[in-house]
A and B are shown apart, each in its own frame.
Chain A
């Protein structure tokens, strides 16, 4: 039984739909490797995955708010803020700076989730506000300058290293995916997250704590965002207040290309990993096809529209807002 089988429905068209992202991945790979056979090499793949580990992590984190039918627009801003905070804290805390940043970010995310329910603010408004706050805070902390980390710090060095020939960053991404997938599939919280995305009111009347579900989903997305920011810091040894700003759109593209429904209740982090890898390959494709970098965003914009159009079952949700 596949990990997605909890969503099983008697309609085979629905089952087919779930494999669409997988087919897209295979097709993208074939096209890409025909165009640039050099990419087939292990080293190339490995460095591609390492370079894009922060983006994959953002995609995976963003999946949880979307699963509960919300949207977190602040993940990329959180990554920037985490990167500069990590750099500024590392002289004092050393490697523990990373831990402090991820924990702090998760708490801030959880608070966002709690406030959405308590203050009745739609999630995209709440997180848009948070995006502005995080950006401003990052700028204020750095004074609009680059901030760097010293060398020889265990955390950042080991992130840049590799094990079993695979980049540690990508291994970390896989570990996060596995943990979250296990959480979604085998815990009460996981069940509640899917149910919440399908019918929030019914979940409330079933005696489940809505604020807790929201806090967990947004806490995880902010935590993943912070981890992504730390990875970027370890890649470049420097951070500035806008380091991850361009990653919001690709992150959302990855989630929906993977087949997680923007309306909530359907999808998984494994699906998002596949969607993320497709998004990464798309970016590579745009680059090697010698399209100007400025057209990347156009490509991502088109892809998000097509993906949502293909993965949304309008018969199910009835209305589109």
Chain B
């Protein structure tokens, strides 16, 4: 078998952080290579080097046996390498067709203006490849996540016409925001393009990796540590290679033994948000973990954001801690003792370009100061270091810039800002484990359980059924803005996954 793309002794450093350390990978023609590893193990850096977004500090990249310098994604494209982005790189206000040819300006333009008809026809041909039957002039923002992911793929697959010879298509966690039918559609596309492409596929879901890959490569601490043929490995072994034996045991389900009283910390009655939530009522006891699940657009996120004071218009009533909750901004929610971990970590969670400690102290740091209205960075240090240790946040120091940490560690820092104070009574978590590796997820689960044991009520919108099932005391299933099922005593008599899925769709 010939080698399509290979990396030899590749290194990448950011300041004193080593992202990649002597990485050697070779990708055969027509092969699907699964790439797994914890957050911060170097998967994304590796993909970025292969696609020309980063330039290696050492080592070499070969395409078809020849050493190449990939200076930009454009260079990579010429060499037949395309990256399907993890965080979608498309522009919402442009049409699907314009997005497809955005990085190929010469193709459908004359004298700097688009030839719309030619572009539309070509766009339709490209969309047919991924079996997407939509008008090419639809604004991209009108599409669902799954459709957008397919447009991403179609955009990369335009390389099929533009480049002769073999292609390399890189997928950086494409399934993180897709639902099962969309994932199946994506996989059938990957199988289709195998005849003239090699594929590198990153995912945190082991069953998916085993389903689609021919070979699996495991990364850890910036090195490639193991390689397994698909037929000679199982899910458990992959987990073990990735995170080590000890941490898996912590992920294993442990029944919660919560003694919940009849007192209520949160009572939501007839909450409606126009177009998103319809007549939702539920209540929570202190120390309870309430899991909410539903497909994209079910309204679960809206419920959380409304309680946190972020909804413009809504009706119904909320009682919190014995008194009505009448608020119009998150600041008022926080003043009452409510915290919220947003799903959009990068825009709503992290204060970017600042240190870990500034992020951890942003909300409740003042509680450790000497006087009202003041802050003391000296007095904050001990509690921050405490939480960094408890949540197992991997950072060189608490003065380290948060942007330089891996996604999982960033998420833990964002969580820590709610834990630094002592006035919190309700913590709402919106997809807290999105994009986190199994190790970081286990750490986060342990922390959530411990907080609930101490009496904090936790309202959780989960990413997977498994995580909601293993954490919650009660589960609410939402569908089209309404509650379609309410399951009590989850730990004592767990519902089956089928039962939950039936209520979701």
Name A's B-contacting residues (CB within 8 A).
Answer: 6-11, 186-192, 194-195, 198-199, 201-209, 265-266, 316
Contact = CB atoms under 8 A, between A and B. Distances in A.
A205 B376 contact: no
Contacts of A195: 351, 354, 358, 362
A119 to B, nearest CB: 15
B331 interface: yes
A186 B353 contact: no
Contact of A205 (B342, B354, B369): B342
Nearest to A195: B351
Given A202-B349, A203-B362, 19 more contacts: A6-B358, A6-B377, A8-B355, A10-B15, A10-B16, A10-B399, A187-B373, A191-B361, A191-B375, A194-B354, A194-B358, A195-B362, A198-B351, A199-B351, A201-B347, A206-B363, A206-B417, A208-B363, A209-B331
A187 B331 CA distance: 17
A188 B377 contact: no
B352 interface: yes
Contacts of A199: 347, 350-353
Contact of A265 (B347, B354, B362): B354
B374 A186 contact: yes
Interface in B393-408: 396, 399-401, 404
A202 B375 contact: no
A205 B348 contact: yes
Contacts of A203: 351, 362
Given A199-B351, A201-B347, A202-B348, A186 B376 contact: yes
Contact of B375 (A7, A187, A201): A187
Nearest to B365: A191
B64 interface: no
A9 B375 contact: no
Contact of A10 (B349, B361, B401): B401
B27 interface: no
Given A8-B399, A186-B374, A209-B331, A202 B351 contact: yes
B354 A206 contact: no
A11 to B, nearest CB: 5
Contacts of B347: 199, 201-202
Interface of B: 15-17, 308, 310, 329-331, 333-335, 339-340, 342, 347-355, 358, 361-363, 365-366, 369, 373-377, 396, 399-401, 404, 417
B377 A205 contact: no
Contacts of A316: 353
A266 B333 contact: no
Given A8-B355, A10-B15, A10-B401, A205 B349 contact: yes
A10 B330 contact: no
Contacts of A8: 355, 399
A10 B400 contact: yes
The 5 closest A-B pairs by CB, nearest first: A207-B334, A205-B348, A209-B331, A195-B351, A199-B351
A68 to B, nearest CB: 13
B414 to A, nearest CB: 8
A205 B15 contact: no
Contacts of B15: 10-11
A44 B362 CA distance: 46
A187 B358 CA distance: 13
Contacts of A188: 365-366, 369, 373-375
Contacts of A209: 329, 331
Given A191-B358, A203-B362, A198 B353 contact: yes
B354 A198 contact: yes
B366 A202 contact: no
A43 B290 CA distance: 73
Nearest to B377: A6
Nearest to B401: A9
B320 to A, nearest CB: 14
28 contacts: A6-B355, A9-B355, A10-B17, A10-B396, A10-B400, A10-B401, A187-B374, A188-B373, A188-B375, A195-B351, A195-B362, A198-B351, A199-B350, A199-B352, A201-B348, A202-B349, A204-B330, A205-B308, A205-B310, A205-B330, A205-B348, A206-B330, A206-B351, A207-B331, A207-B334, A207-B363, A208-B331, A316-B353
B305 to A, nearest CB: 9
B214 to A, nearest CB: 36
B354 A186 contact: no
A8 B398 CA distance: 11
Given A206-B417, A207-B331, A207-B333, A266 B353 contact: yes
B376 A198 contact: no
Contacts of B351: 195, 198-199, 202-203, 206
A321 to B, nearest CB: 15
Contacts of A205: 308, 310, 330, 340, 342, 348-349
